[in-house]
Structures are given as structure tokens and as C-alpha cells.
Structure 1
Amino acid sequence: MHARSDKLSAWHRLTTIVTIKGHTDDSAITRLNRMGLTLSVSTKLRLLDEAGAMMDTAIVSKLQTNPLFKVTGDNLDIYIRTGHKSLEKSNTDLHLFASNAIFSRVAKPGVFNTARVSRPLHTLYPYMFFLSGHYRQTMVNSYCVVLGRILAELKEFSWMKSVLPAHIYHPYQVQMSQKSEVFQLPILMKNVAKHEDCVDILDGYETFISDLFVTAFGSEDTLHKYRVPVGGDQLTRVRLEEAKNLRTLATTPKKRFEDLHPFVIELWHTKQDFLEKCYKELYSTKTLRQPGTLYHYKSKLQRTDVNGKVKGAFKSHHDFIMLVGKRMVTEQFIEYFGMENSSSAPTKNVPIIKKSVCERRVQMHEILEKFMDHYGYLKDSCDLRKSCDETDSVYNYSSNLCHWVVNLLNMDDIAKEEDMVRLVPSLMFSLQFFFSHSRLSKYFEECVDFILKCEYMLSPMDRIRVLEGAFTNLRGGIGCNIESDLVQENSVRNQKDLIRSLGANKTDKAIMRCTKAADIVVDICDKIDSSVALKKTSSRHHTPRAAKDEELIAKSLRELRPFSNISGRTCQGLPNILSSPLKKIDQKDLKHRMNQVIERLFYGQTGNVDNALEGDD
């Protein structure tokens, strides 16, 4: 076949890429090669090397047009089975470190001020990290839209659909709708849990990124001028920043890692921990017989994939709490407006519907702000006070669940829209939820660290780069963004996929080769699928609406009427629960802890991860 047409080489490359993605073993590839359908096994290895080299070339080409990018990193852990066990060789856990480079869409050279301004420590007070002023109003407007979308599902309030925005506007909406440029960096054979390996990881970053800038610009001056932000989960952020501190007294800027700044937390892991804290607060086997609780509906709906361990199955836990939580908020609206069911007319707090769209929009905000004030939404711990109406623990449980769910809905919407305006206010409010679970919560400290850097320590240029770097748009379009660390998780999954295809007795060289080419292989296979009109099942498709599940929950809640506030009613399993998670917070303790964390983070110190992990649970 090759003798008849040398153009078949490109076709052979495509078929070989498909066999690599499909985990075809070498013996099968050899048979296909003898039939003239694929390249040989040895040529396959050269093909993977070429795919890896393409990534470096593409990064240099993009650097020449835009020198601003952010690096995200995450650990890649995989269990390696040895083909023939011996004293010298046994099954091992392999700990690697994977990274992506995400180029800026908003920040451009010369657009934002690069002067670094840092406020003195004595001018930083705890109240500056809580919602106030325009930040509070931003969150109020956001909550109005999130709650309005739920209220508009009721028949009598369907008029709100015409005034609710499909996408909450923010100044960078156009730029955020552009497709992100994401490139995979070489994998590092290092374990982020070890300080010595973290120093090697930063050395590897410095060497590789410096080489890229030298290739693109002929020198490292551009790198020294703009530097590179680094993001990761809590462990990654803490360990890498500690590793940088270890080199504080090094003799050269490169050895001090001055080109890598700042180190920030990523938001999908923050949301994951937020959801886990919600389940720890409200998910209890003791509430099995109590209608209106998460564990009751988990058992009734036979959700066997929901067990309270969020990190093992994030999507199933997220979908379940959205299912129950939205119905709970709907029940809250029904009770607030004195309705018999979702189709009946309101008898309390009845609004007089305005005629014009502008008047209806103002009216919608007025209705929802009164509703939020009635049930304590967006009230800080200092605004909440224990009162006698908390003798109904069923009411307290339901109200508590609504506070968690609406904030989680707001976090989801911020990620989809990549709304940099709402991001910092959202963390200002969320940090109190983390603190309510434990004063040693590690993500409470991460929220404070993110706010401290973005609001009081970074230049306008670095601030924009950190905020926009928190999200990535892989497809393009408004409302199509996801968190950057979730993109990193998907990249790690692709790399693991190819590592497993290597079989037993994997060498470091083979792992480096296949992981470097992983994203290119996946990208080529996606383009092949598109060219042959092959549709694949995707987790990004809308989840089918569980109508029967919603009907069961709605009927159960109508019979229970959790928001009727019956004095003395007890929630089985959680009799002492409060109506808001923030009511547990001691204001003096919160301010004292805030001062401790701010002072420590201001001087670049990090917390003891082991101690935080012990106290967090």
C-alpha cells in the first residue's frame, strides 16, 4: 500500500493514534502493521515523541503573541504492577506531578498596571475579609438571580422568566466566552507530599519555563517582568509555597524561584471541600426515619452511590444535594407565599405584578430581597442571633440545608460564567461556612489567603491573571467555563489512561513519553470523531430530569411542611441543629483566628498541613 501512495503515511499515523488511545497491545499493532493498516511498534514510539515535541513548539508559538500564562499542577498517583515479582521488584505506588499552562484571555501586556502594592499588616483587619459595601450588593444581586430561577418554576411566578438574565453580566463576559489555550507541560517524577521533591518541582518549572522564554524571545527578561502564577489544590499550594520559602536565602533570583509568583488555591477543590462540609453537617444515618433529611431521601430514592464521602464520588453527591436542595428551596417559597402547592395562587406576601419589564425586574429584586431577609440568607455570623423560634429542629435542619445549597448554586454559576467580579465576594462569604465546621479548617485558611493576595497584596495585572486563571473555557461560548483544576484533573485522567496501556514493568522513559503526548493523542482522536460524525456520551450533557424523584420529594415536603415553624418539633438524629451553619460561630474566636491566619499568611508562612488535617475532621 505504501508503495502505491506515500500519502498513506498520514492515514497510518491516524490509525496508529486510534490504536494507542484504544489500548491496543503491541502484538495486535504488529498484525495490523503487516496488513498495511498501521505503523510498526517502533515507529509508534517515534510518533509519540513527535506528538510530545509538538506541544513544546505550540507553547513557544503562543508565547510570542502572549507572554502571560498561569501554571496549574496536581499529583498523579498510580499503582504499578510488576510482571515478575522479586525482592528487587515489587508492586509500587508511583507518585508523579502533572501540570498545565493556561494562557490569559483578559490580561495583556501594557493593559494593566504591574506595580506591586502591599498594605502594611497593621492596616489589615478581620472585617475587611467579610461581605460589606459593593461586595455585599454583588452577592445580593447574584442570590436574587439564583433564587429567582427556582421561583420562576412555580406557575404563579412564571412571569419572572422574562426578566431573569440567562447569564449574569460582568465586564469581562466577552473575553471569557473565548476558547482558552491550554497546553500540557512535561510530567515530573516527583511526589508533591515531600518537601525535597517540591523543591525539585519548582526547579523543573524554572528550567522548563526559562527555556521556553529564551526560545521565544531570546532572553528571560520578559519572564522576569511578568512572572508566572502557580495554582493547585490545598496540599499543592501549601507545599510549593513552603518549598519556595526554603530557598529564600539562595544566591540568585532563579534559585529563589522569583519567577514563580503567586501561589494560589484552585476553586474546584474548594467547592469539593465545601460540599463535603455540607454532608458532614447534615448527612447522618441517625436521620433515616426523619422525612426532609438527606439520608432519608437517599434511602427512599435508593441512591446507593451517595455515602457522604464526597471526594470519592463528587458528581453523584453534587447531583443528589441539588435534587433535594432545590425542592427544599421551592418548599420554602411555597410556605413564604402561603401556597397550597406549586400550582396554587399565593395568599401571603402577594406581589402586584407590574406591567413594564423594567418595573418587573425591580419588583423581582424587592420580592427576593424580602424573602432572603426573612430566612437569613447572606447574613454574616455577627448578624445572626439565637432566638426562641429555634425550638423547631425540623425547621432548623431545612433552613440550614437551604443555606448550603443556595451558596453552592452560586458557586456553580460563578464557575460557568467565569465571573471574576463575584469570585472574591463568594469566598468572603464561604470562608465562614468552613470556619463553622472547624476553626482549623484548611480551606478556611485558603479562602483568606486568596482574598489577601487578590485584594491587598498583588498588582492589578497579577490580580486579573489570578482571577481569570481560576477558570478555563475548553469549547468557547458564554457560560461554558469550568474550574482550571478540573481541567487539570481531566488531563491527569488522560495521562493515566495512556500509562495503563503500557502494561507491566513500565519504565520512567516510557511513562514520560506517553504522558507528554497524552493531550495531543486525545485531541487527534476528538478531531477524528468530529470528522466521521461520531457522537460520544459526555458528562457535559444535561442530566435527565428525575421527575419521579422530584415528585416524591415534593409530596413528602408538602406533608411535612418543614418551614411552618412548629414549636417543639424535633428532628430525629439531629435535635440540636441550628437554622444556619453560621450561628455556631463565636465572633470573638473568629476574629482571633482571623488575625492569626492573616498575620501568618502576610509573612508568607503556611500552616501545618498534618495538624490542619487532624483538626479539620
Structure 2
Amino acid sequence: MDGKINGDNLDLYVKTNDIRMNNKNRDLHYFASDLTFDRVRLDHLEDAAPLGDPNNVNVQVFIPSADEMTMYRKSLKYLIGRELAQSIKGLEWMNAIIPTHIPHDMEKVMCERSKIFWLPLQLKNEMYHDQCIQIMNELEKHVNTIYTKAGRGGDLEKLKIVVGGDQMTRCNLQSAKNLRRGCYNQTERLEHLHPIIMEMFHTLMDFLEKLFKRFYSKDGGRDAATLANMKMLIQRTNVNGQVKSRFEAHEEFVLLIGKAYLLVLAMKIFKMENIEDSPKHPLLKNNMKYLQNKPKEEVFDALMEEILDCSLVPFQLDEGTVNVKTVELEVSFPATGQKVNVTGKIEGNTITFPLCVNNRSYVFSAPKENICTKSGWRLCLPTEFGVINMTVMQTRAPLDDLKNYVHNFIQWYYVVLNFKDTMKEGDIYRTNMLLKMMIPFFYSHSALSKYFVECIDYILKTEVMLSPRLSMRIRLSSYVNPKGGKGKNKAADMQKENEVRILKDLIRGLGANKTEHAIVTISKAAPVISDISTNFDRALKIKEGGTTHKKRDDRTDLITLVNALKKMNIWSYVPGRVLSKSNKVSETPFKFDKNMFKLSILTTVDRLKLGIPISDLEEEELEGDNEDDGQ
């Protein structure tokens, strides 16, 4: 059984009692790592040829396929059903047909307990390339030592140990490895440490950060039904838009607001006046609770499809696949001030429309981009009575900023809701599907978004560049299960963050004038100390001081939000409804140039195939460069 190394930086500010010229307060930047062994043998999978053709990578690889979209909708039905059954008493019958854990092919493997072994703390800062090389050298030594002592020295020739970390860790370690490409042997070239990939928890964190940058505005408290307004309504003072410093608070807030929006939509569909009312729908019967599971499933599926049809907007790469065949046009005659409304047909990039002028019928054709501009398409029609000037433009209904805001937000909410359940279940198939879903979301924020690149890198490696065996190892090792059990997986980097927290507590316990030797010594003892503490508590039957069972019920907050949102008709079109202070967004997150999107993906792929890490640019500098004016 092989394994995977997970690494993360350990940053600590150390104060000293006796401040001198040569002894001051210090910022410590170290590197912590662990080795997690694989939970399943994959010897039956091929380990020679790559999964795809690295020389011919199609952009469709990074877009969810029809089967993956079906998987996405199916999982959303269960997740939405859970939320509705939990909050609406008349829909509790759904609990009988909604699985506690969404099934997948690897669920038995992901229930097994992970074997995690801490590696010694390295007093190196991953921000510097020279120290990154030393970090990789040290990890290479650990791998050689472990396999040699285990009597598997002969496996080193073909051994590949996956290395995982956040975006900064992946880029810096990949750069350090590139600097050693010209060395003489495998160990010096660091070939055993391959590939280096990103992790899921930091991906979700960055996704939430982009969500708040788009939807949260500190000045938008007076704009009804927005995040800032809802924050004030339920007094969530711990939400300030700084996701990385207060991740749990912001994650809970997003899930609560998304659930409130969803319940208001359900109340509209089920004709409910309030959340305590009984749902009314032609498919619902009085004896739903007592029906057999098969008719229940049919009704459940139809209801969830109706909700998804009203709220879900799938990403479509090809503009031509959008189901729009007609367009409403307005033809104005400046000389007389007369205006005529006509209906045009869209044929490719051309709009054709009929028009009657002076009792004669004409058919005009014009490029779509000319008519759909703000100024419209100006043309001159020569007739026997003279030249007639006219202007043709698309009829634009007044915008409803609030409905667009809610509809756009719910797309992000669905991804977050699905990703959280995917991490708990350790579903590797939904993971790849959700990463593909996230790519256009990250791109809509900025073409230079860091995790736009990381999602592409993960898909490229696990579906194209690597062998089936190594690809499956990467996907399975993205999650760990420290205690074992169904639905108790967590992202590997989240586990590493927990270990770093333990190390920090132990280092702080050394006192003010701690030395580096003492820090290294206590870090080596950290896993033993943690095990002794856990076993001691278990022997004395001391309950673990977790926070899951101590969380307060948020139903009061939820009802407050739902009652307020119900009055605002957030799911109904109200012409001219304006958000004055909040960020104005389009109805979907996908209002960007699809051709530029394809080009960005293919350019990124070409660089990643060469092993060139994308530099960590300040994406905020170009934020919104690829977005429409409506976003």
C-alpha cells in the first residue's frame, strides 16, 4: 500500500519576555506534513498509459457532461428534499425515500478508517524557493527511509507518492521540483514525489470568498433581501465578508440564506402563506405519509424537478445550444416618431424580421450583434416616396435587480450545498463533477482566479495526463476518515489544519523563550501526546468536547428570514426593482464571453502540461475584466 503526503504551512507569532537587540518577538513560518496510506489496493488498474490523449486536450473535458449534469440534478433533489422535509411539516413524508447517505461506488472504501502518520515539523518557509527545495528534499528522504526500512526498497524505482496542499503550497513545491529537473538520479530530481495537487477544503473556502465578493456589500444593508440586509435582520455580527478568518460563520450564513431563498420558492410552488401552512399541489395527496415508497418517489421526483426547473441554470459552453429562437424588436421612425414592435427569428448569428412600410411588406436580415447593441441598427429604406430612415433595436424589459440577485445566488448555493455533502461522503465522482461546475464560477469572478487554475489542474491530471491507477489514488486520497464510519470523511487539508492547530497549542505551551530545538522536539511528540490524551478520555468515559451537538438551533433565524422574504416576492418578476447599494449581478453567473472562456482554459492547460505553475497574481487587480456590465 502506498500513500499521500499532505502539507501545510504553520505560522506562529512568538513573544519573548526578555526583549533584547538579538532577542525579539518573532514570526515563525514552518512546514507541517503527514503521510496517509491508501485505503484500497488498486493493483488491478493499469499504471502505464494515461487516461486520455495529453497532446489533444479538448475543452469539453473541463465542462460537466450530460451524465454528470444528471448526477448533479439527482444529488440536488436529495439535498433540497432534506432541507424541505426538515423545515416544512407537510413534507416530512419525504424522509422515508431520501437516503441518509447519497450512494456511490466507493462508499464501502470511504467508510474505512484512514491511517495517518505525522512527519517531523520542518523549520522551513514555503514562501522561498530555496527552502521549498529543502522541504522536498526532506520529504524525499522520509519516503526513502520508510520504504527501505519496510523492506520495499525495490519499489522505489517506480514509486509515486502524491503530495497535496493548498494553492500556494502546490505552486511553490511544483516550482521547486522543476528546478531539480536536470539532476542525475530519481532522488535528486524528486521524482518519487509526483504529482503535486491541490486540496478540496481550500477550494471550497476560496469559492465562498468569491461568493461574498460578488454578493456581499457593507453598504448594502438597506437593499432588501440581500446578504447585508439579511445579516442585519438576524444580527449575525460575526459575518463581515472575511471568509478565511471566520470560515464556519460565513459558511453557515450562506447555507442559511440559501435555505431561506429555497423555502420561499417552495412556498410559492406549494401555495403556502407561511412556513407552518400545509403544502398544496395537484400531485400531493392527503395520505402521502401512508403511501408505498414507489408512488412517493414518483411524486418526490416530479416536485423536485419543478423546483429545479424554476431555480437551476446549467452552464452551456456553446451559445448556439441556448433555446432562444425568437426576439422582440422595436422599429422606430425618427421622422414621424412612430414605433412598431415586431418579432424576429434568430438563425445562427443573424436576425430576420418582417416589416410593413407604406402598405408594402419587406423582410430584413441583420447581424445579431448590430441589433442587440444599445444604439440599435440604423438603416435607410429607399422607396418611391423617398428614403425612410429607421432604427431597429432589441426590446429590453425593465430589469429586476433583486430577482436576478436571488437567482444568481442560488446557483452558488447549490454548489456549496452539494460540495459539503460530497466531502462528508467522500464521493470521488461528484468531486470531479463539482470541480467542473466550479470552473465557470471562478472564471466569472476573474480570468486570473487562482482556483480556476487549480480546478483545471486537478481535472487535467485525474482525467487526462495520469494513468488510471495513479488517477484513482489521487481522487481517493483527497479525503480522509480519521475515525471511520459512513459520512465521516473530511478533506485531507482540513485534517491537516486540525493537526496544525494541535501543534500550535503544544508550541505555545513551551512558554515565551522557546528555542527551535524545543519546537522540533515537541512536534515529534505531538501525535503521541494527542493519542495519550484521547485514550485517557476514552478510558475515563469523558465525552469529546466537540461543537456539533452544542450548536444552537437556527430555526428562529430561519423563520424570521422566510417571513421577511415572503413579503418581497423575490421569485416573482417586478419590473424596475433596483438594488441601489449592493453589487448588481445578472440572472446567472455565466454572462461572459464563451470564446474567451475556452481560450483561457486551453492556454492554462498548455502551461500546466509543461509543469509551469501559474503565478499567484493579484487577481483583484483585474477583477471583473471578463464580466459583462450587468455583473
Which residue of 312, 335, 340 corresponds with 1:376? 312
| Alignment coverage as a number of residue pairs | 548
Could you say if the C-alpha distance between residues 337 and 578 of structure 1 is closer, same or farther in structure 2, counting changes exceeding 3 Å?
A: farther
SS of match in other structure, 2:219? helix
Question: What is the identity, as a one-letter code, of the residue corresponding to 1:472?
Answer: V
Q: Deviations over 1:354-412 (max 9, x none)?
A: 94413432442333233222323434465679996771111111122211112101000
Match of 1:603 in 2: 610
SS of match in other structure, 2:21? coil
Match of 1:334 in 2: 267
Matched, 1:247 2:161: no
Larger Rg belongs to:
2
Match of 1:61 in 2: none
Q: Deviations over 1:147-188 (max 9, x none)?
A: 121232323333221111110101111111111111101111
Contact 1:441 1:615 in 2 (8 A): no
Matched, 1:101 2:35: yes
For the aligned residue pairs, the C-alpha RMSD in angstroms reads 2.2
Match of 1:591 in 2: 598
Q: Deviations over 1:124-156 (max 9, x none)?
A: 121221011322221121111111212323233
Match of 1:364 in 2: 300
**More strand by percentage:** 2
Matched, 1:158 2:83: no
Which residue of 580, 587, 590 corresponds with 1:579? 587
Contact 2:107 2:425 in 1 (8 A): yes
Match of 2:171 in 1: 238
Match of 2:59 in 1: 126
Question: What is the identity, as a one-letter code, of the residue corresponding to 1:364?
Answer: F
Match of 1:173 in 2: 107
Deviation at 1:616, TM superposition (A): 5.8
SS of match in other structure, 1:432? helix
Contact 1:105 1:178 in 2 (8 A): yes
Q: Equivalents in 1 of 2:323, 2:499: separation in Å?
A: 46
- Identity percentage over the alignment? 33
- List gaps (5 residues or longer) in structure 1: 1-65
Contact 1:119 1:457 in 2 (8 A): yes
Deviation at 1:456, TM superposition (A): 0.6
Q: Equivalents in 2 of 1:483, 1:136: separation in Å?
A: 23
Could you say if the C-alpha distance between residues 442 and 422 of structure 1 is closer, same or farther in structure 2, counting changes exceeding 3 Å?
A: same
Question: What is the identity, as a one-letter code, of the residue corresponding to 2:32?
Answer: A
SS of match in other structure, 1:131? coil
Match of 1:494 in 2: 502
Match of 1:392 in 2: 400
Could you say if the C-alpha distance between residues 218 and 158 of structure 1 is closer, same or farther in structure 2, counting changes exceeding 3 Å?
A: closer
TM-score (norm 1): 0.85
Q: Deviations over 1:195-222 (max 9, x none)?
A: 1111111100111110111101152x22
Which residue of 104, 112, 123 corresponds with 1:189? 123
Matched, 1:506 2:508: no
Q: Equivalents in 1 of 2:435, 2:256: separation in Å?
A: 24
Question: What is the identity, as a one-letter code, of the residue corresponding to 1:416?
Answer: K
Q: Equivalents in 1 of 2:573, 2:151: separation in Å?
A: 68
Q: Equivalents in 1 of 2:96, 2:103: separation in Å?
A: 16
Contact 2:275 2:559 in 1 (8 A): no
Matched, 1:213 2:152: no
TM-score (norm 2): 0.83
Q: How does 1:134-533 map to 2 (within 5 A)?
A: 134-152=67-85, 153-217=87-151, 219=153, 221-346=154-279, 350=283, 355-380=291-316, 382=319, 391-533=399-541
Deviation at 1:429, TM superposition (A): 0.3
Deviation at 1:80, TM superposition (A): 2.0
Q: Equivalents in 1 of 2:24, 2:48: separation in Å?
A: 54
Contact 2:205 2:243 in 1 (8 A): yes
SS of match in other structure, 2:485? coil
- List gaps (5 residues or longer) in structure 2: 328-395, 625-631
Q: Equivalents in 1 of 2:494, 2:274: separation in Å?
A: 39
SS of match in other structure, 1:564? coil
Could you say if the C-alpha distance between residues 389 and 345 of structure 1 is closer, same or farther in structure 2, counting changes exceeding 3 Å?
A: farther
Contact 2:160 2:194 in 1 (8 A): yes
Deviation at 1:413, TM superposition (A): 0.2
Q: Equivalents in 1 of 2:558, 2:402: separation in Å?
A: 20
Matched, 1:76 2:10: yes
Could you say if the C-alpha distance between residues 125 and 402 of structure 1 is closer, same or farther in structure 2, counting changes exceeding 3 Å?
A: same
Q: Equivalents in 2 of 1:542, 1:380: separation in Å?
A: 43
Contact 1:337 1:349 in 2 (8 A): no
Q: Equivalents in 1 of 2:468, 2:54: separation in Å?
A: 19
Which piece of structure 1 moves more, 210-219 or 269-278?
Answer: 210-219
Which piece of structure 1 moves more, 603-612 or 208-217?
Answer: 603-612
Contact 2:216 2:583 in 1 (8 A): no
Could you say if the C-alpha distance between residues 260 and 349 of structure 1 is closer, same or farther in structure 2, counting changes exceeding 3 Å?
A: farther
**More helix by percentage:** 1
Q: Equivalents in 2 of 1:135, 1:424: separation in Å?
A: 9
Q: Deviations over 1:536-590 (max 9, x none)?
A: 431343632122211211110111121122121122323732222223x221111
